[in-house]
Amino acid sequence: MQKKAIILLSGGLDSITVLAKAKQQGYQCYALSYDYGQRHNAELDASKKIAQNYQVEMHKVINLGLGDIGGSALTDDHIAVPDTPQQGIPVTYVPARNTVFLSIALGWAEVIGAYDIFIGVNAVDYSGYPDCRPAFIEAFQRLANLATKAGVEGTEIKIHAPLIQLSKTEIIKQGIALGVDYKATVSCYSADKQGRACGVCDACRLRKIGFKEAQVEDPTRYQ
C-alpha cells in the first residue's frame, strides 16, 4: 500500500524540490499551503500551479491570521523588507511560523492517515531563522509523537527535512536531477502581482547565488 505524506508547499524553490523528492520516493502526496497574511500571493499562486503539475492527491490552502500579530517584514507593511544582509535574526523572520505550519500539517496527517510530513527548511543557506534548525525539527518530531493519537498508539510520525544540511547550490542540483522546473517557483519576499522578483532581498540573493554556483541558468523573472 502506497504511503501518504503531507508536503508543506510554499511555492518556492525549496518546497518544490521537497515535493519532487517525496514523489520520487513513492509517496502519495498531499500538499498544504498557507495564506498567512504574507505581503503577496504570488508564491501561493505558484503553489497551486505546482500542485497541479505534480498531480498531488489534494492541495489545501489554509487561511491563517499571522498578519494580525505582525512582528515580521513579511506580515507587517510598516516593517520594510531589507535589501542588504542583516546580522542576527532578520526582520523577515515570522514568529512561530514553522511551529504553526507543522502543527496544522500534523492535524491533517492524523485525519488522512499519513505518518510522514515533509518540510523544506534549510540550515545552511538560510536567513538565520531559529525554526529552520535541525534542533527544531528534532524537537517537533518528539512533540508530534507525544501529542497525537497515532503516536500514543505506537505509530511513529516522521518529520522529513531532506534539505536541512544542503546549500542552495546543492538543492538546485538535486532538483535539476529530479526534473524540477524552477521557473514555476517564487522565492522573493517582495514579488509583484505577476510573481516577478525584486532581485535584492535576502531570498533573491541566496537564490541567485545558488543558480550561479550550480552553473544553471537562472529562470527567475525579475522586475
How confident is the prediction along the chain (223 residues), in pLDDT tens digits per residue?
889 999 999 999 999 999 999 999 999 999 999 999 898 899 999 999 999 999 999 999 999 989 899 999 999 989 999 888 878 898 999 999 999 999 999 999 999 999 999 999 998 876 689 999 999 999 999 999 999 999 999 999 999 999 999 999 999 999 999 999 999 999 999 999 889 999 999 999 999 999 999 999 999 999 9
Tell me which H or E stretch contains 105.
Answer: helix 97-112
114 class by beta-carbon count within 10 Å (0-12 exposed, 13-18 middle, 19+ buried) = buried
pLDDT at 126: 66
Q: Is 59 helix (H, G, I), strand (E, B) or coil?
A: strand
> For the chain, which domains are there?
4-214 (3.40.50.620)
pLDDT at 1: 80
Distances, alpha carbon 77 to alpha carbons 38, 64, 92, 188, in Å: 9, 17, 12, 15
